[in-house]
Amino acid sequence: MSPGDTPAQEVRIERDGPVALLIVDRPRQRNALARETMTALGAAVARLAEMDDVRCVVVAGGGDCFIAGGDLRDLQALTTAEAGADMARTMQAALDALAALPVPVIAAVDAFAIGGGAEVALAADLRVLAQDAWLAFRQADFAVSTAWGGSWRLARLVGPARALHLLGTGERIGAAEALRLGLADEIAGLGERALDHARALAHRLARRPAHVLRTMKRLVEAAPLPAPEHRALEARLFGETWGHPAHFQAVDRFLERTRPAVAEPEPGPLAGLFLVLEGIDGAGTTTQARLLKRWLERRGEPVHTTAEPSGGPIGTLLRQALGGRVVGRDGQRLCPESIALLFAADRFDHLRTEVEPHLRAGTHVLCDRYDHSSLAYQGIENDARWVSNLNAAARRPDLVLFLDVDPAIASRRRAHRGGTPEIYEVDALQVRIAEAYRDMERWRPSDRVLRIDGNASPRAVQRACRAAIEALLDRRRALPRGSVL
């Protein structure tokens, strides 16, 4: 450990949108695991298991290699058979928990994974190797067996005979050989880091609906079950995915795409980014939109800010209805169905007349609320599936920044702001709307949504928003003109 390092810092979780990186960072020891690192690894995996918004995990070593096994200098302190067995059990529990995460786990192997390091790599669902990386089960060189579940995992992957061969010889397994044996699933490009390649793969997987990825992992893991039991499980889990709104939306999109095309539009300039801010009343979306506009302009990015309800005729009518100035013929507030329909109508008018022309011209559009608001607000007083379908054909944003704020804090902010409360600005309703927001993925599983802790200071929220937009801008720069991200 270098001076000032704590074991907790030696195992880090970094977030990259829906992807979490789990990094064992002891580069001076080539990321070999000391006893405290093992405990920290177990704790980090437990934290990952709590992160509901993670869709894929990448495990990597700090610096430029994967993990060189156990830290032999530190492990010298274990002088008895029992102490060795205890250490084995600690790591087995940490790696079993890693393997049991409900989302795919990818090991990014740069340079090498030796001994216990190779066992860590095997605990992942998938392995990406750099072109010059290798694995070696060097345990026998130190006169010990595997300890962290490695022999079991190796035998499952390559069969018992090949496993015994690799464990007995301790020979280096290069990337091409690892691919041939099924120990590697993808090899990074020439000169490309396995970590970068694995991150890209993780993002590819993370674009899938989370519940589908989790189901796939469960089914693959259940493969050792006898066929009749597995069929029963598959039929049940398949049924859940079939009945999910995401399935019907995906089929609708497919049927829409296979309709005969009218005419290919001329490629224009690079399309602008469609960025949406969402959250309950008092979440701070309007403040953040204003700050983001200034920031983008300072960077020379053309940007147009807008909001829903829009400033168009239907939006204006809606604002009057929300303020209680337009009522139904019975003198009561408009019925929930009419409000949901008006929001959807306003949205399509807004898209056609304001949002899409700007995007086509290459201007970014920053929109304060979009159809996630309809799902959260109108979804709680109507059939949410009906509301979802009403808005299903609305253009999808490139990024949704969801400011997740405690309803009690938002309530205080609204009180501080003053003014006459609108129809939804009632504390009990806002608590339900906040819950509905957290269920957003159910209705829009393919949207790129970044949940930001809206209880933090405006500056901290702004930093998180900027980092996400920055990443999109970088990706967009790499695209040819006429592309839509």
Name the site residues for ligand TYD (rule: CB under 6 A). Answer: 281, 307-309, 322, 343, 368-369, 373-374, 377-378, 422, 424
CB of 450 to ligand TYD, least distance (A): 19
Q: CA 202: distance to chain centroid?
A: 9
Nearer to ligand TYD, 274 or 424 (CB): 424
Beta strands 449-453 and 399-404: pairing type? parallel
Nearer to ligand TYD, 309 or 407 (CB): 309
Nearer to ligand TYD, 31 or 382 (CB): 382
Question: What's the rounded Cα separation, in Å, for the pair 400 and 464?
Answer: 12
CB of 423 to ligand TYD, least distance (A): 8
C-alpha distances out from residue 408 to 56, 81, 428, Å = 32, 55, 10
Task: List alpha helices for 100-173, DSSP H.
Answer: 116-123, 150-158, 160-169
Nearer to ligand TYD, 288 or 373 (CB): 373
Nearer to ligand TYD, 378 or 462 (CB): 378
CB of 422 to ligand TYD, least distance (A): 5
Structure tokens at 264: 């290919």
Q: Which of 65, 61, 64, 54 is nearest to 37 (CA)?
A: 61
C-alpha distances out from residue 127 to 45, 103, 398, 413, Å = 18, 14, 29, 47
CB of 23 to ligand TYD, least distance (A): 39
Question: What's the rounded Cα separation, in Å, for the pair 193 and 177?
Answer: 18
Q: What are phi and psi of 3, to 5 degrees?
A: -55, 135
CA angle 202, 206, 212 (to 5 degrees): 125
CB of 367 to ligand TYD, least distance (A): 9
Q: CA 263: distance to chain centroid?
A: 35
CB of 319 to ligand TYD, least distance (A): 7
First-to-final CA distance of the chain: 43
Q: What secondary structure letter does DSSP report for 79? A: -
Amino acid (one-letter) located at 103? V
Nearer to ligand TYD, 269 or 323 (CB): 323
CB of 282 to ligand TYD, least distance (A): 8
Nearer to ligand TYD, 127 or 369 (CB): 369
CB of 309 to ligand TYD, least distance (A): 6
Nearer to ligand TYD, 31 or 378 (CB): 378
Structure tokens at 331: 């003198």
CB of 37 to ligand TYD, least distance (A): 47
Q: Which residue is nearest to ligand TYD (CB)?
A: 377
Nearer to ligand TYD, 398 or 425 (CB): 425
Residue 425: CB atoms within 10 A of its CB come to 18
Strand partners, 58: 21, 106
